Amino acid sequence: MDASRDEGVSVAKSSEHEYSGADIQVLEGLEAVRKRPGMYIGSTGPRGLHHLVYEVVDNAVDEALAGYCDTIDVWIRRDNSITVVDNGRGIPIDKHPKEKIPTVEVVLTILHAGGKFGGEGYKVSGGLHGVGVSVVNALSSKVVVDVRRDGKEYEIAFEYGKTSEKLHEVGKSKHTGTTVSFWPDPTIFTESTNYDFETLANRFREMAFLNKGLRITLHDERVTDPEGNPRTESFMYKGGIIDFVQYLNQGKETLNKPIYFEAENENGSVEIAMQWNETYATNSVLAFANNINTHEGGTHLEGFKNAVTRTINEYARAKKFLKEKDSNLTGDDAREGLAAVISVKLHDPQFEGQTKTKLGNTEIRGLVQDAVRQGLADYLEENPTPAKRIITKATAALRLREQLRKVKEKARSQSGLDSLSLPGKLADCSSRKPEESEIFIVEGDSAGGSAKQARDRKYQAILPLRGKILNVERVNPHKAMTSDTINSLITAIGTNIGDSFDADKARYHRIIIMTDADVDGAHIRCLLLTFFYRYMPELINRGYIYIAQPPIFGLKKKNSRNPKIERYIYEESALSSVLSEYDDPSKFDVQRYKGLGEMDPEQLWETTMEPATRTLLQVNIDDAAEAERVVSELMGDIVEPRKEFIQKHARDVRFLDI
């Protein structure tokens, strides 16, 4: 198991089975990690806490990529410590040639010390811009590492990033591998050191899909069955990304069996699985580079999209599905209903973009394009029946798109309106700097009117929506464009959608969904989130989408001439505990806010819109595969998966307004 993560990996020059201290090159020390942990793990909240586990597990996966590990066990202990066990070769324990201490101590105490930096350890390695178990060590109150190699078992321990027990032999071992146990430092992770089972399970499921034959098992000692056995979930997929695509398409009517092909050259390798379904989604394509989910896309995704569009068009024309007079299918037409997984493995991946999850290697574009053109073309020729279904779906999308374009052009010519003008209901802000501007999407004219009066006109825009927007999960994208509400939303935000989408043209970097705190408000919020997930997922990845948190209750003294609310309560469950803080709650009136329109502008500003006092929830997609499945289940046409979801999670519902 390697002990570090980084963007840079290089081709191994040593013999295939060598792995020793000479393979570990030291780049820099560990001084700043505890002082500025957010620079290394993103945050000290739940995401950063879980990132510690990913760093350790990713290193075990590196051993799997190199062909030396096929089993990883992760244990959540009762005290919320973590233990990760792999059956790889074991971190080297010989003296490091430069540092003159055991290599395992080097990789645990020195930043950027790992088997990928010197070019001698791994040909291909996962990890993004992470920095490995050295950072896990720095941010833990205690770390214990057990190494099994060369017929012996060794142990070394650390506290707060510093060695507390030197490496020593503890026995004999017939097996090889590494065990890392760590206790996150509660003085660093002040919000919580409590691990979430589902968050970890979703990540490990994805890892197992991407590494065919690797078994990752998650054990949770905090939850046990009547016999005392811990909650356990195991992930292993013999079909790899073929199984991944089938997982994405659960609950959907499919048009073909999964298509799979792979290719390799001196720059790396690619494997692709793809399967069309009856839905209208055009963004159900997941792209990975060295096991990293490249949310922002990159050259491998560009090559894939270009090749799919070109190959589908060539086949459609060759088989006369498209006549000479017909336009070519667009990328959206060709990918309508397509679920796909692209996984590339590179020797030297270059990541860029706002969140460092966009692949920049130009040489991989050609490899992916050639693989798709050959593999997809062969499949279509050899499987005429599903090929006809795929092309028929794409050409139907083309016909509908052209019909709607003609209708819109006619309407524009008759009205004389510029299609690029901003929506009439939008109360825009005066600032033209997206990074300081925000837009509140509110339901109804009443709430919209109150929000317009409450806002700071310099940087806050208001867009009222009339009623519930269309459920875009159930209609063709071109059909969705007949909705005035959706058109207003797209125009106000400024990015366009589909092949014309450009996140850099977003007019606001905070897009805030502000709905009533009732069932209708929750439904509208869900519909809006579905829209953003399907049509503007990059805005979610960039952290531009937020949910406002208006209060549910207001406490006011009875018989008081002062109309001011003394205290606001934002959670249903908090009402009783707040009232218990007062000696005599009977002296207070409890006002329930079922709608934003029930608050006057001053109250709305103070509780929900004022940056200094409001609470916003930032929307993110930690697990794209799980998000894809849940959106399809909850918002799609098929009832059974939605029914099962409701039955499973019914006890999690916090309140219901009738």
What are the residue numbers of the active site?
443, 516, 518, 520
In the block, which residue shows the tokens 């963004």? 283
DSSP for 247-314, written as a single string: HHTTTS-BSSPPEEEEEEETTEEEEEEEEEBSS--S--EEEEETTEE-TT-BHHHHHHHHHHHHHHHH
CA 265 → CA 63, 142, 367, 370, 397, distances in Å? 22, 44, 7, 11, 36
In the block, which residue shows the tokens 């690619």? 270
Q: Where are the alpha helices (DSSP H) in 542-635?
A: 575-579, 601-604, 624-635
Q: In sequence order, which residues have a C-beta less than 8 Å from that of residue 161 and are 6 or more positions away?
A: 30, 33, 34, 109, 134, 137, 138, 139, 140
DSSP for 53-114, written as a single string: HHHHHHHHHHHHHTTS--EEEEEE-TTS-EEEEE-SS----SBPTTT-SBHHHHHHHSTT-B
CA 157 → CA 132, 164, 182, 454, distances in Å? 16, 6, 10, 57
Identify the helix (H) or strand (E) that includes residue 40. Answer: helix 38-41
Minimal CA–CA distance to 403: which of 310, 324, 482?
482
Q: In sequence order, which residues have a C-beta less than 8 Å from that of residue 574 and are 6 or more positions away?
A: none
Residue count (the chain): 658
Residue 443 and residue 514: Cα distance in Å, rounded?
Answer: 7
Residue 388 and residue 367: Cα distance in Å, rounded?
Answer: 27
- At 325 the three-state DSSP class reads coil
Residue 39 and residue 130: Cα distance in Å, rounded?
Answer: 10
Structure tokens at 557: 């003294």
Give the alpha-carbon dihedral of 78, 80, 83, 84, to 10 degrees: 130
Q: In sequence order, which residues have a C-beta less than 8 Å from that of residue 407 and are 6 or more positions away?
A: 482
Residue 583 and residue 12: Cα distance in Å, rounded?
Answer: 71
Minimal CA–CA distance to 554: which of 594, 614, 610, 499?
594
- The number of beta carbons lying within 10 Å of the beta carbon of residue 285 is 22
Q: In sequence order, which residues have a C-beta less than 8 Å from that of residue 43 and are 6 or more positions away?
A: none
Residue 464 and residue 445: Cα distance in Å, rounded?
Answer: 6
Outline where DSSP puts E strands in 124-237.
Answer: 140-149, 152-159, 162-172, 177-184, 215-224, 230-235
- The number of beta carbons lying within 10 Å of the beta carbon of residue 233 is 15
Structure tokens at 444: 């109804």
Q: In sequence order, which residues have a C-beta less than 8 Å from that of residue 125 and are 6 or more positions away?
A: 2, 5, 6, 9, 62, 65, 115, 116, 290
